[in-house]
Structure 1
Amino acid sequence: MPAKVWIINQFANTPDVPGHIRQYELGQFLSSQDYEVEIFASDYNLTQRKYRKLNFAQFYFSENYHKLQWNWLYATPYKINNWQRYVNMLSFCITLFIVGLTKRKPDIIIGSSPQLLATFTAWLLAKIHGAYFYFEVRDLWPQVLIELGGKSPTSLLVRGLAWIEQLLYKKSDRVIVLASGTVDYVKKRGATTVHWLPNGPNLTEFQNNITPEEAKQQYNIPSDSTCLMYTGAHGTANALETIVEACRILDDEYSGKILVILLGDGPEKQELIEQAKGIQCLEFRNPLPKQEIPQFLQAADGFIITLKNISLFQYGVSPNKLYDYYASEKPVIVAVGGAVNQEVKSHQLGWAVPPENPQDLAKAILSFYKTCPEDRQAMGERAKHLVESTYSRTTICQKLAAIIQEDINCLDKGRN
């Protein structure tokens, strides 16, 4: 009987909808290696703000999706980050626990944050089933609530989450981090066996048969404009107001020459649209399914990524969209700070400016616009080389499979 692996992430997606698909791709690879894989995720899609599979009063829905057993679980809806978000998280945990008790016992459970309560629930299920437990750290909770959400370190919520966080670091059989800068962070809080398995793209998806000129025509982007793109969430952490204000600085002189496209959705999108009224060189677009993103990126001449200016983002992020940009073989402009900025500088992949500084971002956009195509191409080639050597999803999946097989071998010895 093949070894059974559960992957639990409230916000996991399939490629036919917007959002990250790390759990799908990890599951696909493990399935190809003859593991039996089940994924547990919320059916309430945050980007689309709707249920996709569940009918009224339905608790969960299970389907076979590309050789994966995908469990879509009920969680209460919410539209903005208020108290309803916490009810949404708690309801997902309740559904997960009940459904997890009814399933055949797994050999390994991978609980993926940022949802610490769901990860804690996954750990409880691992204890009940006698399974190995891996804690995948996507975001550092509750630190992000303190630095980004303004929560007091002494608040009951933060102290409770910090207790759960330390328990998970200490009790997990393995801790997987996506950002290399968080290795020391988790070790100081009790983690012993830590693996760096960053975000990264499936490079085969970026072998496009469409030229940039054809992509611009397909996506209605003027062929004579220099197009920069941002794709992803429109939330507080993303600091997209920095891009809006940088475009305002450039708009009078470069409208019609430079076009910046913000593709995606999130709680801040409508406010950003209001803020950007009258700016001609900036355009908002609705999200696309993840599987279409590589083709859409072909229409860009380069990319922008911004984040809030908080210390956590200096070392604790692994932006999946950034590695998609690298794989698209185009230059990047990063306004993140810390490790991300340093990587772009040291590998000469584009421009790196301080976060939340519209003036510096506008200068970088203008410098990009004035850079000759040959130099831009060289930056893109270096980015593609970096993603092939370091961030390839295939390499990451192979490393995870090797770790899992090591533990499965230990289980088999124990059974014999």
Structure 2
Amino acid sequence: MEEILIISNYYPPEKGAAANRIEQLALKLHQNNYKVSVICPLGNYPKGELFPEYKGKFSVTENRDNITVKRLWIYPSVSKNLLVRLISVLSFSLSLFFYLLIKKTPQKVVVQSPPLLLSFISVFVLSLKNKKIILNISDLWPLAAIELKALKVNSFSHNFSLFLERFIYKKATFILGQSNEIITHVKSLFPDKKCFLYQNFPDHKVKNIELVTKDNEPIKIFYAGLLGIAQGVLELCEKIELTGLNIELHIFGDGAEKTQIEHLISQRKEQKIFFYGMMERNALHQKLKTFDIAIVPLKTRIYGSVPSKIFEYGSLGFPILYFGGGEGGDIVTQNNLGWVAQVEDYNDLNNQLISISKMSKNELNLMKKVVFSQSEKVFNLDVQIKDLVKKKVF
């Protein structure tokens, strides 16, 4: 059985799309006869504090569903203080650097990017050891940071990040891109680099649609995921207009904007917005079975980004209300998965909501079946992984 290592900043029991994405990759490689191991930090995300089972430990080795998971020390933090966040990133970076330098690792290694510094350290050490490096890019950094105004153009941090970015692209053997825009960007820098599209398709193991449409309830739209700056859920709650509409908005998740969102909801009860906090993925899916539409927002259009929630909830049969711009909107439109509102245009979003509120539950039920059927054909993880194995990417 051939060995392969995955290096990631996130892995279950941590929550969120990033952890789910890497776990799905690990499990599918195992199912395709690879002996898979993962290196990641001690579990701490999204709250920025070690989970109880990891407190007081420097490293932990686990077996999760036949995947060997090596967790290394980190000083966790989600502080808004830049220095504290930097210390947190550097803590795991140093742990990872010395581990990769000293320990024996498989010849094939998948490196997740971003975070950019972690992927740089991984690629740097692995290239010294002449490993086959498969760089899995889910977002373009520092470009995304510029678009989110987290970095200033031509600042020291920006130029340093550009150096890291070009280094990892140059040294990678193969590159997996979450979107066609990511591949286009990489090719603009290194035209001869071998790149492959690898999107975050889920594997729910659901053969028949399990959603229940309730005629005697309002249309239930939900957001489930990270409550961070990039998603813009706080601004969504501020500017969405549900008064007088047969629509409710339900929010699940955790993150930097959580407290502000809870406070806002308590002050605007007429808007019919409800907050639940973070839930386990399986429990969340059970809770959502009587809901109707998944909303997928981004605060601004981020080149290269395709939110995995399109695949996650489309595959369960939920129509998608997409509010993020870019390639994600093309995927929703081309596959007839729902509605697209122009990013940052709340007039357009609220007009879409007015149209949705006029739909009957029978229309919504038929739409769910169409979305489920289409997603089953297009978002097939097994086909995607087998194709990459056949092409000798892994």
Judge same fold: TM > 0.5, yes or no: yes
Aligned-partner Cα distance in 2 for 1:344–1:36:
35
Aligned-partner Cα distance in 1 for 2:188–2:279:
40
Find the counterpart in structure 1 of residue 140 from structure 2.
Answer: 140
Aligned-partner Cα distance in 1 for 2:282–2:109:
26
Aligned-partner Cα distance in 1 for 2:211–2:362:
17
Find the counterpart in structure 2 of residue 305 from structure 1.
Answer: 296
Find the counterpart in structure 1 of residue 219 from structure 2.
Answer: 226
Deviation at 1:240, TM superposition (A): 1.3
Aligned-partner Cα distance in 2 for 1:296–1:18:
17
Write the letter of the residue equivalent to 1:275.
L
Spell out the pairing of 1:104-183 with structure 2 (5 A cutoff). 104-183=104-183
1:344-385 C-alpha deviation (Å, 9 max, x unpaired): 233332221112233322222221121123432343333223
Find the counterpart in structure 1 of residue 85 from structure 2.
Answer: 85
Give the counterpart of 2:360 among 372, 376, 383.
372
Q: Using the TM superposition, name which of 162-171 and 287-296 deviates more.
A: 287-296
Find the counterpart in structure 2 of residue 250 from structure 1.
Answer: 242
1:265-324 C-alpha deviation (Å, 9 max, x unpaired): 1101212222332234101111112233332331211111111223xx2x4112111111
Assess, with a 3 A threshold, how the Cα gap between structure 1 residues 91 and 399 changes in structure 2: closer, same or farther: farther
Aligned-partner Cα distance in 2 for 1:394–1:114:
24
1:227-285 C-alpha deviation (Å, 9 max, x unpaired): 110110111111113431344x222x24xx42211100110121222233223410111
Assess, with a 3 A threshold, how the Cα gap between structure 1 residues 302 and 407 changes in structure 2: closer, same or farther: closer
SS across alignment from 2:165: helix
Give the counterpart of 1:286 among 277, 285, 310.
277
Deviation at 1:160, TM superposition (A): 1.0
Find the counterpart in structure 1 of residue 305 from structure 2.
Answer: 317
Spell out the pairing of 1:197-276 with structure 2 (5 A cutoff). 197-205=198-206, 212=212, 224-247=217-240, 249-251=241-243, 253-254=244-245, 257-276=246-265
Write the letter of the residue equivalent to 1:134.
I
Assess, with a 3 A threshold, how the Cα gap between structure 1 residues 338 and 378 changes in structure 2: closer, same or farther: farther
Aligned-partner Cα distance in 2 for 1:238–1:316:
15
Aligned-partner Cα distance in 2 for 1:211–1:344:
20
Identity value in percent? 22
Find the counterpart in structure 2 of residue 348 from structure 1.
Answer: 336
Instruction: Say which structure is richer in helix.
Output: 1
Find the counterpart in structure 2 of residue 76 from structure 1.
Answer: 75
Find the counterpart in structure 2 of residue 47 from structure 1.
Answer: 46
SS across alignment from 2:170: helix
Does the CA-based 8 Å contact 2:100-2:126 persist in structure 1?
A: no
Aligned-partner Cα distance in 2 for 1:196–1:94:
31
1:43-68 C-alpha deviation (Å, 9 max, x unpaired): 24222432124232x22111111100
Does the CA-based 8 Å contact 1:108-1:134 persist in structure 2?
A: yes
Assess, with a 3 A threshold, how the Cα gap between structure 1 residues 383 and 246 changes in structure 2: closer, same or farther: farther
Aligned-partner Cα distance in 1 for 2:30–2:366:
37
Write the letter of the residue equivalent to 2:140.
L
Does the CA-based 8 Å contact 1:201-1:323 persist in structure 2?
A: yes
Aligned-partner Cα distance in 2 for 1:74–1:320:
28
Find the counterpart in structure 2 of residue 59 from structure 1.
Answer: 58
Does the CA-based 8 Å contact 1:242-1:356 persist in structure 2?
A: no
TM-score (norm: length of structure 2): 0.91
SS across alignment from 1:163: helix
Assess, with a 3 A threshold, how the Cα gap between structure 1 residues 295 and 207 changes in structure 2: closer, same or farther: farther
Assess, with a 3 A threshold, how the Cα gap between structure 1 residues 407 and 271 changes in structure 2: closer, same or farther: closer
Write the letter of the residue equivalent to 1:278.
R
Does the CA-based 8 Å contact 1:243-1:361 persist in structure 2?
A: no
Does the CA-based 8 Å contact 2:111-2:134 persist in structure 1?
A: yes
SS across alignment from 2:93: helix
Does the CA-based 8 Å contact 1:333-1:365 persist in structure 2?
A: no
Does the CA-based 8 Å contact 2:234-2:260 persist in structure 1?
A: no
1:183-239 C-alpha deviation (Å, 9 max, x unpaired): 11111122610000111111415757x6526xx8xxxxx962221101101111111
Assess, with a 3 A threshold, how the Cα gap between structure 1 residues 348 and 36 changes in structure 2: closer, same or farther: closer
Gaps of 5+ in 1: 217-221, 409-416
SS across alignment from 1:334: strand
Write the letter of the residue equivalent to 1:274.
H
Find the counterpart in structure 2 of residue 28 from structure 1.
Answer: 27
Write the letter of the residue equivalent to 1:377.
N
Does the CA-based 8 Å contact 2:299-2:343 persist in structure 1?
A: yes
Deviation at 1:174, TM superposition (A): 0.2
Deviation at 1:109, TM superposition (A): 0.9
TM-score (norm: length of structure 1): 0.86
Assess, with a 3 A threshold, how the Cα gap between structure 1 residues 18 and 169 changes in structure 2: closer, same or farther: closer
Assess, with a 3 A threshold, how the Cα gap between structure 1 residues 75 and 327 changes in structure 2: closer, same or farther: same
Does the CA-based 8 Å contact 1:239-1:356 persist in structure 2?
A: no
Q: Using the TM superposition, name which of 131-140 and 39-48 deviates more.
A: 39-48
Assess, with a 3 A threshold, how the Cα gap between structure 1 residues 17 and 237 changes in structure 2: closer, same or farther: closer
Find the counterpart in structure 2 of residue 411 from structure 1.
Answer: none
Aligned-partner Cα distance in 1 for 2:72–2:207:
31
